[in-house]
Amino acid sequence: MKIPLLDLKAQYRSIKAEVDAAVGKVVEAQDFILGEEVRSLEKEIAAYCGVKYGAGVASGTDALILALRALDIGAGDEVIVPPFTFFASAEAVSIVGAKPVFVDIDPATYNIDPDLIEKKITKHTKAIMPVHLYGQCADMDPILAIAKKRGIKVIEDNAQAIGATYKGRKSGSMSDIAALSFFPSKNLGAFGDAGMVVTNDEKLAERVKSLRVHGGAVQYVHSEIGLNSRLDNLQAAALRIKLKYLDKWLEARRQNAAFYNEKLRGVPVVCPYVPGHNVHTYHQYTLRIKKGQGEIIKYLSDNGIGTRIYYPIPLHLQDCYKFLGYKKGSMPASEAAAQEVFSVPVYPELSQEQKAYIAGKITAFPF
């Protein structure tokens, strides 16, 4: 049996007629850059996230960059970021000229450990950027309390967790500003790169909308240097159709995760830990094995099961960040996770037979 890590073709087939019609409408109108579909999506995503404003941009990475720019974070500033995440989280900080300051993760949730944040704050710290990794919210209340006490901003990197909740609050709604990614593999994925910034602050939203069009709210009038980072109308049209199905898809992911949790009970792997106050969206279903990460990945691959390590090299050990002075052992929880985690298929369209096959092969692995 061959089971890919993600099957986007299966998702597309389930909504093909609706998506094709929506995209065809944009093509017929020949209205491609920003436009009515983008404006409608901005309102719908903002409402879904429980905030007032959305600004569509070209990618999730750009959403982080523009969120930082809108908060006037730049040269000489520091931003606290976890090292166990996709590279864009720290990259965006560097691109605006600021310095990423890494804070290790909670080994249970893989999200930034709030207990380690305060001692990393300096007079240069301008923001904390918690990442809601794998589809689960970071522990936001202590993070927000630290930020309020210290007078610094909070930027949610919500690239992986749209629809997740923390104590009844939607991911992306708890901070000063948040970034979303609609990369095709995300739970709400476009047909190419796409992203959005969401916030309750109208001034921040308007600034992002100006920055995304070369720093000019009025054509040919530029108040500052911005980017070309506009969300295409074609992508917005497809995303609007997909958004209608998102909650259904997320529930299917949770059911698939529950199936694995049950079938893998007693097997020497660590299933995802979800605190009682969180609702997980399982962008990834990530297991953990104390020894034999490479061996189990090869074994599953040999048996036709798509797997991947998210993320094999923590950011503080990446070559481009050597100048920051971190050494192996400086972020022990992140480094251990990188050597022990692996993710298996959890997408909504998995059949019972496929899930049983995956769970069975993991159970049969010679631990």
**pLDDT tens string 145-202:** 999 999 999 999 999 999 999 999 999 999 999 999 999 999 999 999 999 999 999 9
Percent of the chain with pLDDT over 70: 100
Cα three-residue angle 310-231-222, rounded to 5 degrees: 120
pLDDT in tens, 76-86: 999 999 999 99
pLDDT-based confidence at residue 220 (cuts at 50, 70, 90): confident
pTM over 0.85: yes
End-to-end CA distance of the chain: 22
Count the helices and strands in the chain (H runs, E runs).
11, 12
Tens of pLDDT along 269-279?
Answer: 999 999 999 99
Is residue 217 predicted with pLDDT exceeding 80? no
- Structural contact between residues 306 and 8, judged by C-beta atoms closer than 8 angstroms: no
Residue 282 identity (one-letter amino acid)? Y
Q: How confident is the model at residue 110 (pLDDT cuts 50, 70, 90)?
A: very high
Q: What is the mean pLDDT of residues 341-361?
A: 98
Which neighbouring-strand residues pair with 167? Answer: none
Instruction: Identify the pLDDT of residue 137.
Output: 98
The pair of structure tokens assigned to 246 is 């998102």
According to DSSP, the residues that pair with 232 across neighbouring strands are: 33
Distance, in Å, from the CA atom of 96 to the CA atom of 68, rounded to the nearest integer, reads 7
Is the pLDDT confidence value at 311 over 90?
A: yes
Give the separation between CA 324 and CA 104, rounded to whole angstroms. 15
pLDDT tens for residues 13-33? Answer: 999 999 999 999 999 889 888
Which has the higher per-residue pLDDT, 219 or 321?
Answer: 321
Fold of 8-243: Aspartate Aminotransferase; domain 2 (3.40.640)
Whether the predicted pLDDT of 288 surpasses 80: yes
List helix spans (H) across 31-138. 36-49, 60-70, 88-95
CATH number of 246-364: 3.90.1150.10
Domain boundaries of the chain, sorted by first residue: 8-243, 246-364
Position 219 scores a pLDDT of: 81
pLDDT at position 125, please? 98
The C-alpha atoms of residue 32 and residue 273 are separated, in whole angstroms, by 42
